[in-house]
């Protein structure tokens, strides 16, 4: 149970279904069905490629976790555009990684030569401080791929002293408040934080019963 609204907690999972249900599904599945399912699962696997060393692309699992003090993730087109306009518009950053992703709404490759309008997921490193990383994730990450995305991306980093900041957006119409949304300034900024975050928050905290969904929530 959360001790305060906005705390990130691990919710109980029903990912493991009953053995009887699994057995019933297995009986109904033909060998062709199983082969198609395996191929789809393989195709939906996420690959994270890094060029942190010598410019050569390496898969995330191949190297030891690297030191990262601050990791800023912009999820969605608006948040990614904000990073492009106000942070990445300089020579202070270099591309050091990319995510290969395939699902119903996204097709990516391991190339990093993309247009700003392309749906993509790129990692940048601050040249003056290599422990500071940014991620522009403007591509759609499906529900069944979100845990895999987190596992592979954060599996590359040492967790000690790591501060993670997530930037995301949602329509004003989805914001739940007692006052009229017509009188609200747009855009406006709200925050959620974990209990481990001891620094001062730069904006008001998000009020109940508003929630964060999808990859930012994960």
DSSP string, 47-95: EEEE--STT--EEGGGSPPBP-SEEEEEESHHHHHHHHHHTSSSTTEEE
Candidate from 68-82, 94-108, 152-166 with smallest mean pLDDT:
94-108
CB atoms within 10 A of CB 80: 26
Average pLDDT over residues 130-144: 91
Mean pLDDT of 110-132: 73
CA 133 → CA 7, 8, 80, 93, 143, distances in Å? 24, 22, 14, 9, 24
Which two three-digit tokens encode residue 169? 């957006």
Give the span between the Cα atoms of 148 and 62, in whole angstroms.
Answer: 16
Distance CA 62, CA 49 (A): 10
Cα–Cα distance between 5 and 191 in angstroms, integer? 11
- Sort strands 121-126 and 129-137 into parallel, antiparallel or unpaired: antiparallel
Tokens of 168: 């995301």
Banded model confidence at residue 142, pLDDT cuts 50, 70, 90:
confident
What single DSSP character describes residue 134? E
Regarding predicted confidence, which is higher, 9 or 208?
208
Structure tokens belonging to residue 214: 């999808």
> Which segments within 64-188 are labelled E, that is strand?
70-75, 93-100, 102-103, 106-107, 121-126, 129-137, 163-167
Where is pLDDT greater, at 101 or 205? 205
How far apart are the C-alpha atoms of 217 and 168, rounded to whole Å? 10
Answer whether residue 176 shows pLDDT above 50. yes
Tokens 């393989």 locate to 42
Which tokens in the block code for residue 129?
Answer: 């401080």
Q: What is the pLDDT of residue 74?
A: 95
Picking from 130, 133, 127, the residue whose alpha carbon sits closest to that of residue 154 is: 133
User: Mean pLDDT for the chain?
Assistant: 80
Of the listed ranges 43-57, 83-97, 117-131, 185-199, the least confidently predicted one is 43-57
62: pLDDT strictly greater than 80 = no
Tokens of 73: 């993730």
The pLDDT confidence band at residue 114, using thresholds 50, 70 and 90, is: very low
| Domain residue limits, the chain | 43-52+64-107+114-167
Q: Shortest CA distance to 111 belongs to which of 120, 155, 137?
A: 120
């Amino acid at each position: 149970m959360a001790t305060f609204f906005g705390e990130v907690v691990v919710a109980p999972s029903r990912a493991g279904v009953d053995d009887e249900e699994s057995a019933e599904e297995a009986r109904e599945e033909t060998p062709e069905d199983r082969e198609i399912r395996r191929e789809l699962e393989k195709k939906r696997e996420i690959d994270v490629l890094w060029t942190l060393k010598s410019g050569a692309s390496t898969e995330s699992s191949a190297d030891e976790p690297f030191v990262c003090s601050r990791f800023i993730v912009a999820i969605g087109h608006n948040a990614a555009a904000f990073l492009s306009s106000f942070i990445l518009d300089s020579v202070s950053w270099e591309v050091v990684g990319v995510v290969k992703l395939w699902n119903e709404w996204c097709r990516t490759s391991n190339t990093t030569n993309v247009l700003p309008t392309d749906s993509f997921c790129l990692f940048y490193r601050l040249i003056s401080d290599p422990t500071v990383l940014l991620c522009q994730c403007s591509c759609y990450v499906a529900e069944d791929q979100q845990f895999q995305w987190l596992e592979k991306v954060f599996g590359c980093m040492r967790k000690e002293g790591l501060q993670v900041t997530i930037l995301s957006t949602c329509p004003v119409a989805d914001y739940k408040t007692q006052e009229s949304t017509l009188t609200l300034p747009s855009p406006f900024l709200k925050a959620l934080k974990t209990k481990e975050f001891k620094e001062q928050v730069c904006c008001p905290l998000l009020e109940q019963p508003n929630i964060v969904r999808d990859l930012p929530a994960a």
